[in-house]
Structure 1
Amino acid sequence: MRKIVLLLLLNVSFIHAQYSDPNFPKPSAGYGSDGNHTVGVISFTNPYFTSKNIEIYHPSDISSPVPTIFYSHAYGGNNSANISGVLNFIVQKGYAVVYVPYQTTGVTNNDRYDNLLHGFTKAARDYSSVIDTTKVGFLGHSFGGGASFTLAKHCFDTYNWGSAGRFIYALAQWYTLNLSPADLSSFPIDTKLVTEVFDDDITNDHRMAIDIFNNINIPLSEKDFILAKSCTVSGYNYIADHSVPNTSAAFDALDYYAYYRLLDALCDYTFNGNLAGKDVALGNGSTNQVTMPTGMLDLIEYENPPVIYPENNYTFPCSSSTNPRESFCGLLSTEDFNNKKQLSIFPNPAHNNLYIRNKSEILCKVSIHDMTGNIVLETESDDKLIAIKIQNLDRGVYFVKVNNRAKRFIKI
């Protein structure tokens, strides 16, 4: 019960706020700057949660269907005022957002997923004059961040949503339920993905986000893993924790530059094919992607995200019976981060050969495992550069253990 109350308190306090940053103004142009479309709201009864209406935020000055983002809120955040900033920002840029509240208590997690799914599909069916389902994004925070993958997979496969453009943007995600390894390995490869975690988040273990990011069938060129860090500028604290985006007190540069800017660029790339948007949202660590205002710590982009903190740092650890992917948590260790200067594994993806550079000059026992944990190849060497022939392995995702410790996911 303590954990449930904690998340509830984190989310229900986010009530109306205005931009109030003492150091940096909002972006005045380009990605992250406010748009000029007029915000309209359609509200209708939610059949699965009658006390909270489903809402469609849309640009009322556009008469044709527009690309649409389906938003899954955090646990306890079933009031759209909690995230009014990002809802208005998206609409002003010319896109629609479907906001579906789900119950905090008295239902199961499966009920919450069903509520979100039925609300999304009802909105798309009943308001096709507003919603263009050929261009869609699934955006979610915390519980909603984890749910976005399952919901997106269903809508992509069952309804062919996103046939002309689709993405997932997951923030500080909780456990992802009802998504099998086969589901992860069969995502449409044209899906774009931004996964973002926050360095001072002590609620949701980053391993949940890393696990899904590593195993989802999206090319590295179309997905990025982003870490935002806290900092202090001229006495003002920018706190990168579980409450980002922050609407409880004020919007600040952390919201606009570390979140709104990337979301804006991801929409432009996904829906319009603009490569300038890709350089910001999915830039693989490009200057345009990671640079924050002078004095703030830049974002960090990973293609092989490390585990930095132990599980006991978090209220919701990866190795929990609540997590249906608990068995994958043992493959993710802080040892990978702490020892990465001693060992490097490359390239990733690999083709004919996989190399391990051993800077510690100790005997390395290397084993390659498939996703069921079976050993498919093993060797040992004390060479500084170990070459492993992998051309006989089937195409897929594997993980490499060095001296019986999980080190790195690789794709062949």
Structure 2
Amino acid sequence: MRIAMVSEHASPLATLGGVDAGGQNVHVAALGAALARAGHEVDVYTRRDDRDLPERVELVPGLTVVHVPAGPPRQVPKDDLLPYMPAFGDLLAEHWSGERVPDVAHAHFWMSGFATLRAAAVTGTPVAQTFHALGSVKRRHQGDKDTSPPGRIAIESSIGRRVDVVVATCSDEAAELARLGVGADRVRVVPCGVDVGHFRPAPVVEMAGLPRTARFRLLCIGRLVERKGIETVIDALVDLPDAELVVAGGPSADQLGDDAEAARLLALAAARGVRHRVRLVGRVDHDALPVLTRSADVVVATPWYEPFGIVPIEAAACGVPVVGSAVGGLLDTVQDGRTGLLVPPRDPGALASALRSLLDDPDRRAAFGAAARRRAVTRYGWDRVAAQTALVYRTLARGKVLTEVAVG
């Protein structure tokens, strides 16, 4: 199949760890590569944010990133991109003219869906939509701190009803889509994936410059934003005197001093009397993440909300148990009592209790880790996720062919 993936702000080429670079970038890059390995021709359309970027970059054989000149050729926060989406959609329609019409287009994020539907109205291309995050959930948890453009929720609801299918990443998202008026018959749940070859169990080795300073190591990985709930872990650390907390993510280590959230977290740690057991290490290269993950006794993921969450399945693939918030995608990826433990969000007491129960029971930690690895391989390997996604695409492409035959 000829597949167009549209990811207006999350380029597969972007450096991870920035404010607008994270799980979606990984998802688009890895899904596109897995589809290409399966023999499909994949173009990923993303906004040109640097005037020196070439129009097309081959990421791997069969997977090409296309930079679309919609809006200024510079970095723009994703919440400010909506005014450029009509032009983005018109340029997509130009790309897909004549014999270049894709068999299916897969939009990632709501603004990509806005642009893709605009192009599809011209080309007749079937459209699949993955939201990655829903504005209704963001507004519920962030309230006045939500920086989304006005009308986002209404636009998302409209997109969900207009596309041919919504590919949700977890069951919690499917339930939220139903509340937005998107019929269950239009939703397919296909999870995000993990590279189970890159993230795998192996002997624990000490990372250079990061020696263990306590009996147990807890690890958080992710962007340094308040909703990730690292504050909750620091509060729980007060009741875990034999554990250290390593936080990876955000800007590079030499720029952490200028990061407001890093400063806030370190100030909190000092106020709680645990500053000597909290280390922020900044952004860690993708190649080094498995080594860092395996160095932890437990990976902790306690966001206020999480549309899916890549870190829990990366930990699972490494054979490391997760203690996480019972929210969003973690309700699917962490099997409470089998591969890890789930606790209410923003509850330091419950988190400390769950962590204590695992830290004091090495056999249970090992059993959870082994079960997590098995589940990661059987459910979340990228080739499996790509095959499930391709089945959805084939249904759409087949419907397009049948419609054309009937019209003809």
Report the TM-score, using the length of structure 1 for normalisation: 0.35
Larger RCO, structure (CA 8 Å, separation 6 or more): 2
Q: Which has the higher strand share?
A: 1
Q: Which has the higher helix share?
A: 2
